[in-house]
């Protein structure tokens, strides 16, 4: 009987220890803190680029004149990813356009939703389900005056004990009527990782 109790107690102890060893702890972190997990493009890089490009655009004298008496209508083209990494460039353009919209200086048209908008307008105008007096009519939307677009490129160098990645982000604002680029800027990021010997 004592052996049975001893075996049961040992089994319970092992189960408890195994449960503790496999426990996953989740905690909240600071979303704006510097992220240094690896040298790949990360949240800190996205925030840095979005903040710098937004500030540069808003403080540009040309854009200041352009937005002095009106809020120009802009559409943001998806940033072209010319790196070897899989980077969610839509998040980058979302951050930039959101900050610009918050500034109160611009208005935006969302070209990613054209198909959904067309389907809704068809629904309202091509059937008997919506009151014709309340339906949104075709041909009433406002077109964009400017296009904001950019490129993200990188150069990666690696040897036995060190890796270096250089990112360059370029952005431009084009007047759609004239085709002239009214503003352009770029920002750079360099990240390096190296292997350290144990004990150092």
- Spans in the chain with pLDDT lower than 50: none
In whole angstroms, give the CA distance from residue 93 to residue 141: 23
Write out pLDDT tens, residues 121-147.
889 888 788 888 888 888 888 899 999
Q: Alpha-carbon torsion 76, 178, 144, 70, what sign?
A: positive
pTM above 0.85, yes or no: no
Annotate 70-113 with DSSP letters as a single string.
S--EEEEPPPEEESSS---HHHHHHHHHHHHHHTTS-EE--GGG
Matching residue, tokens 């190296």:
194
Write out pLDDT tens, residues 34-60.
666 667 787 888 899 999 999 999 999
Residues 39, 192 contacting (CB under 8 angstroms): yes
Domains of the chain: 40-109+144-194 (3.40.50)
> Which residues does 24 contact at the CB level (< 8 Å), separation at least 6?
none
pLDDT at 46: 87
pLDDT at 5: 53
Residues 156, 84 contacting (CB under 8 angstroms): yes
């Amino acid at each position: 009987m004592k052996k049975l109790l001893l075996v049961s107690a040992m089994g319970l102890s092992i189960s408890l220890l195994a449960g503790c060893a496999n426990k996953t702890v989740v905690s909240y972190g600071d979303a704006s803190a510097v992220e240094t997990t690896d040298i790949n493009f990360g949240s800190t890089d996205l925030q840095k680029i979005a903040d710098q490009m937004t500030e540069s655009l808003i403080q540009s004298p040309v854009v200041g004149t352009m937005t002095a008496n009106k809020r120009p209508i802009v559409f943001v083209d998806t940033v072209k990813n010319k790196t070897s990494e899989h980077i969610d460039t839509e998040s980058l353009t979302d951050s930039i356009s959101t900050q610009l919209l918050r500034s109160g200086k611009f208005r935006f048209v969302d070209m990613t939703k054209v198909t959904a908008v067309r389907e809704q307008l068809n629904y309202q105008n091509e059937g008997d389900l919506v009151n014709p007096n309340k339906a949104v009519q075709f041909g009433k939307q406002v077109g964009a005056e400017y296009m904001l677009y950019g490129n993200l490129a990188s150069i990666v160098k690696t040897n036995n004990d060190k890796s270096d990645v250089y990112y360059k982000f370029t952005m431009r604002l084009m007047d759609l009527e004239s085709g002239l680029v009214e503003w352009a800027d770029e920002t750079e990021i360099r990240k390096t990782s190296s292997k350290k010997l144990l004990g150092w």
